[in-house]
Amino acid sequence: MAPSSLSAPVLAIESSCDDTACAILSPQGEILAERVHTQADHAALGGVVPEIAARAHLSVLPGLVRETLEESGLDIAGIGAFAASTGPGLIGGLIVGSTFAKGLAIARKRPFIAVNHIEAHALSPRLPGHGGDGIKFPYLLLLMSGGHCQCVAVRGVGDHEKLGGTIDDAAGEAFDKVAKLLGLGWPGGPALERLAREGDAQAVSLPRPLLGRPGCDFSFSGLKTAVARQIAPWGAEALPRKVAADLAASFQRCIADVVADRARHALEQLPAARALVVAGGVAANGNVRETLEAVARDHAVPFFAPPLRLCTDNAVMVGWAALETIRAYDAAGIPLEDGIEIAPRPRWPLAETGERLRATRGAGATD
316 in Cβ contact with 30 (< 8 Å):
no
Determine whether the annotation assigns residue 319 to a binding site: no
Determine whether the annotation assigns residue 317 to a binding site: no
Q: Is the peptide bond before 187 cis (omega within 30 degrees of 0)?
A: yes
- Which is nearest to 97 in space by CA: 82, 108, 86, 105? 86
d(CA 119, CA 358): 15
Determine whether the annotation assigns residue 168 to a binding site: no
Determine whether the annotation assigns residue 116 to a binding site: no
Determine whether the annotation assigns residue 367 to a binding site: no
* Backbone angles phi and psi of 261, in degrees to 5: -60, -45
- Which is nearest to 138 in space by CA: 120, 126, 150? 126
Determine whether the annotation assigns residue 63 to a binding site: no
Q: Is 335 left (phi over 0), alpha (psi -120 to 50) or beta?
A: beta
Half-sphere exposure of 259 toward its Cβ, with a 13 Å CA cutoff? 33
29 in Cβ contact with 323 (< 8 Å):
yes
Q: What amino acid occupies position 141?
A: L
* Backbone angles phi and psi of 35, in degrees to 5: -140, 140
CA-to-CA dists, residue 240 to 196, 243, 253, angstroms:
14, 5, 20
d(CA 226, CA 5): 52
Q: Is the peptide bond before 233 cis (omega within 30 degrees of 0)?
A: no
Determine whether the annotation assigns residue 70 to a binding site: no
**How far is residue 361 CA from its own chain's centroid?**
27
Determine whether the annotation assigns residue 15 to a binding site: no
Determine whether the annotation assigns residue 144 to a binding site: yes
Q: What amino acid occupies position 295?
A: V
Determine whether the annotation assigns residue 1 to a binding site: no
140 in Cβ contact with 267 (< 8 Å):
yes
d(CA 34, CA 9): 13
Determine whether the annotation assigns residue 338 to a binding site: no
> Annotated binding site, which residues?
117, 121, 143-147, 176, 189, 193, 285, 313
Binding residues for substrate, by number, are 143-147, 176, 189, 193, 285
- Which residue numbers belong to the known binding site for Fe cation? 117, 121, 313
